Structure 1
Amino acid sequence: MDTGATAWVLTSASLVLLMTPGLALFYGGMVRAKSVLNMMMMSFGAMAVIGVLWVLYGYSVAFGNDVGAGLLGDPTEFLGLDGLMEDVTTEAGGLPAMAFVGFQAVFAILTVALISGAIADRAKFGTWLVFAGVWATIVYFPVAHWVFDFTLTDDDGTVTHVGGWIANNLAAIDFAGGTAVHINAGAAGLALALVLGKRRGFGREPMRPHNLPLVMLGAGLLWFGWFGFNAGSALGANNTASVVWVNTLVATSAAVLGWLLTERFRDGHATSLGAASGAVAGLVAITPACHSVSPLGAVAIGAIAGVLCALAVGLKYKLGVDDSLDVVGVHLVGGLWGTIAVGFFATDGAPAGVAGLFYGGGVDQLWRQVVGAVAVLVFSFVLTLLIGTVLQKTIGFRIDGEDEVTGIDQTEHAETGYDLAALGGGGRIPTATRPTTAATTTEVSA
């Protein structure tokens, strides 16, 4: 057992787990005050549902031996993680299987949580939990098999495990989830936004973030946790992890600058929301490319991502699609760019050892990247549209219009994010809660 690799992977898994509460803060600050708790609960709900399903059968579907054309892992091979508690044979070699199980579990959780930003303010919480389980089962677990599950051979060249088609047959490069996580979640967010429709007042009423410091805090936690997301995918404390760490840093920094410059030229000012969003856009874009490009390539990918995503988020108003928190503009667009950019910026001097178009490799890797990205986009969009429509027609997915006006926190959770009445001010105690005295008709201070 490689104890150093084990320690790094478990630490990285913990960092990635922190990203989901970080996402809850990021998304929570971006919605209106009457929706903050529901927005955060959607992330925590994803942690609860996917954490259980991953152990029951999710890991087996994603990383079980392939049962057909690289599309699906055997769902019974590791049912309930049977047989993995003492197994130390993994893709990395010498890494306990359960460390790899835990690391991949938090990827699944985060991917589902990302989708929630597209349907902020208007989705029933119970239906969201059902959707999370169904979507992970039908969409995420198979796509994770396509992208993350590699075919293995022993020292004699005998195949001991058959993996997914994108990683092995297509040989597209996606180091940490540009397709399986970001394109997947972005396409799903677009489909759900279409199924649920626009929020009341979309395009007419201001729907500004209610707490920008919360957004900045969430973005900071995402940036911090993303080093586990990307560098942890090296599955060892090695040179690849080191290159990935640096590329993740500089791409994100460049993306912040790209977004802020776009805002400055377009709107005349640079915003804190833009800085936070630019950081996430850069993190998304470098995720698939981080072990195949040089630091200068990472700067280019990040800077372009900041500009592209800053421009993309405004399209929802022109197209009339209410992607509430810009899941499509940041994750789908950023994921597409980062995945395809490998075909341009990959250098054989990086750990992946593949050359893209700009480094003399021609278009061979480029077409592979495009096919992988489009395949995941179409698969996720079509199936999510179907799942969302069925849930809407059966148990109902969108809350009532009156509940939306009142606030989803109160109607779905019987809570509010901010108990402002407790801070002081005059008011009436409701009749049902007034003391039974002769003074019950008197106005009482809150």
Structure 2
Amino acid sequence: MIIHGDVAFMIISTVLVLIMTPGLALFYGGLVEKKNSLTIMFQCFISIGVVTVLWIFGGFGMVFGSDIGGVIGNPLNYFGFMGMNYLINPQYSSTIPFLLFFMYQLMFAIITAPLMTGAFANRITIGGWIKVLILWMILIYFPVAHWVWGGGFLSKIGFVDYAGGAVIHITAGFGCVAGVRFLGNRAVKNDKGPFNLGLV
């Protein structure tokens, strides 16, 4: 198999986006007080595992599966890697193997929810975070990603999001606002400033 330059570039880009999640863990972990640093980091790292399982078992289909009313993709499409291979899916690329496309999109799904962990610091437990993560991915991220990238109603009217500003940053931003409004004030306010600016 010949690896073209664009395939090599996509492999490198996939790895770089994956590295963003541990980077975010260090960034947020350095901003909170010392006793909450590991909690914030754990919330970022647990997202890698939880979102990957969701993505394999229905999430990818909900985003890129066959369109259901312009709102969501069919979660049974590609469920558990069904129909996934190294061949090229012309619907998404003329040169990128479909499995690589799957992995690349997974990296963005992984990084999105941890963007909210800074707003949830001192407001939610690990168990609560896992519940929020699962519900938020299924009810917010997967549908919005389908609307924009998977052939949903926004893409049909010409909406384009090349860098994830709508799918990733706007959804995470509104998730932060909703979380803060719902959870209320922090349990303990950080009056000591950032724990470790070196990590930041």
For 2:178, the equivalent position in structure 1 comes to 191
SS in 2 for 1:212: coil
For 1:105, the equivalent position in structure 2 comes to 106
For 1:175, the equivalent position in structure 2 comes to 162
TM-score (norm 1): 0.43
Question: What CA distance in whole angstroms lies between the structure 2 residues aligned with 1:207 and 1:194?
Answer: 24
Identity across the alignment (%): 39
For 1:7, the equivalent position in structure 2 comes to 8
TM-score (norm 2): 0.94
For 1:121, the equivalent position in structure 2 comes to 122
Task: Give the direction of change, closer, same or farther, for the CA distance of 1:190–1:66 in structure 2 (3 Å limit).
Answer: same
For 1:334, the equivalent position in structure 2 comes to none
SS in 2 for 1:214: coil
Whether the 8 Å CA contact 2:123–2:187 is kept in 1: the answer is: no
Task: Give the direction of change, closer, same or farther, for the CA distance of 1:200–1:86 in structure 2 (3 Å limit).
Answer: closer
Equivalent residues, number:
198
Structure 1: gaps of 5 or more residues: 150-162, 216-446
Question: What CA distance in whole angstroms lies between the structure 2 residues aligned with 1:108 and 1:133?
Answer: 12
Shift in Å, 1:75: 1.0
Shift in Å, 1:129: 1.0
More RCO (CA 8 Å, sep 6+)? 2
Could you tell which deviates more after superposition, 190-199 or 205-214? 205-214
Could you tell which deviates more after superposition, 123-132 or 18-27? 123-132
Question: What CA distance in whole angstroms lies between the structure 1 residues aligned with 2:113 and 2:188?
Answer: 27
1:164 to 147, 152, 155: 152
Q: Which amino acid aligns with 1:181?
A: I
Structure 2: gaps of 5 or more residues: none
Task: Give the direction of change, closer, same or farther, for the CA distance of 1:123–1:20 in structure 2 (3 Å limit).
Answer: same
Question: What CA distance in whole angstroms lies between the structure 1 residues aligned with 2:61 and 2:192?
Answer: 42
Larger Cα-atom Rg: 1
Question: What CA distance in whole angstroms lies between the structure 2 residues aligned with 1:53 and 1:201?
Answer: 32
Question: What CA distance in whole angstroms lies between the structure 1 residues aligned with 2:184 and 2:192?
Answer: 16
Whether the 8 Å CA contact 2:86–2:100 is kept in 1: the answer is: no
For 2:197, the equivalent position in structure 1 comes to 212
Whether the 8 Å CA contact 1:39–1:121 is kept in 2: the answer is: no
Pairwise mapping of residues 35-184 of structure 1 onto structure 2 (< 5 A)? 35-68=36-69, 70-90=70-90, 91-149=92-150, 163-169=151-157, 171-184=158-171
| Structure 1 runs, 4 residues or longer, greater than 4 Å off | none
Q: CA RMSD in A?
A: 1.5
Question: What CA distance in whole angstroms lies between the structure 1 residues aligned with 2:188 and 2:78?
Answer: 48
Task: Give the direction of change, closer, same or farther, for the CA distance of 1:65–1:207 in structure 2 (3 Å limit).
Answer: farther
Shift in Å, 1:10: 1.3
Shift in Å, 1:2: 6.0
Question: What CA distance in whole angstroms lies between the structure 2 residues aligned with 1:147 and 1:95?
Answer: 20
Q: Which amino acid aligns with 2:155?
A: A
Whether the 8 Å CA contact 2:31–2:197 is kept in 1: the answer is: yes
Task: Give the direction of change, closer, same or farther, for the CA distance of 1:128–1:135 in structure 2 (3 Å limit).
Answer: same
Question: What CA distance in whole angstroms lies between the structure 2 residues aligned with 1:175 and 1:92?
Answer: 14
